[in-house]
Amino acid sequence: MNTLTGMPRDKKGEVDRKFVEALARGLDILRAFNPGDGFLGNQEIAQRTGLAKSSISRLTYTLTSLGYLTYSKRLEKYQLGAGVLALGYAFVSNLAIRQVANPLMKELSIATGTSVGLADRDRLDMIYVDHCAPKDIVTFKKEIGDKIPMATTAAGRAYLVALSEEERNFFMRHFKEKLGDKFEAIKAGVDQALENYEKFGYCYSWGDWEPDTTAIAVPLKLTQGQIYVFNAGGPAFRLSQEFLSGEVAPQLKSMVRNIEATLIRF
Name the stretches of the chain with pLDDT < 70: 1-15, 93-94, 137-139, 265-266
Q: Other CB atoms closer than 10 Å to residue 117's CB: what's the count?
A: 28
Q: Which of 226, 224, 221 is closest to 256 using CA atoms?
A: 221
Residues 142, 131 contacting (CB under 8 angstroms): yes
* pLDDT at res. 224: 78
Q: What is the CA radius of gyration of the chain?
A: 20
Residues 220, 259 contacting (CB under 8 angstroms): yes
pTM: 0.81
**Among the CATH numbers 1.10.10.10, 3.50.50.60, 1.10.3720.10, 3.30.310.50, which is that of 21-86?**
1.10.10.10
Domain boundaries, the chain: 21-86, 95-264
Provide, rounded to the nearest whole percent, the portion of the chain with pLDDT above 70.
91
* pLDDT at res. 15: 63
Residues 174, 186 contacting (CB under 8 angstroms): no
Q: What is the pLDDT of residues 40-53, one digit of tens each?
A: 999 999 999 999 98
Residues 239, 214 contacting (CB under 8 angstroms): yes
What number does CATH give the domain 95-264? 3.30.450.40
Find all residues with CB under 8 Å of 141, minimum gap 6, and list them.
Answer: 115, 131, 133
Residues 78, 71 contacting (CB under 8 angstroms): yes
Q: Which of 215, 207, 115, 97 is closest to 158 using CA atoms?
A: 215
* pLDDT at res. 3: 44
Backbone angles phi, psi at 71, to 5 degrees: -115, 135
Q: Please report the DSSP string for 85-154 in residue order.
A: HHHHHHHHHT-HHHHHHHHHHHHHHHHHT-EEEEEEEETTEEEEEEEE--TT--SS---TT-EEETTTSH
Q: What is the pLDDT of residues 10-31, one digit of tens each?
A: 555 566 788 888 999 999 999 8
Distance (Å, rounded) from C-alpha 22 to C-alpha 103?
A: 41
Backbone angles phi, psi at 22, to 5 degrees: -65, -40
* pLDDT at res. 10: 54
Work out the widest C-alpha separation in the chain, in whole angstroms: 58
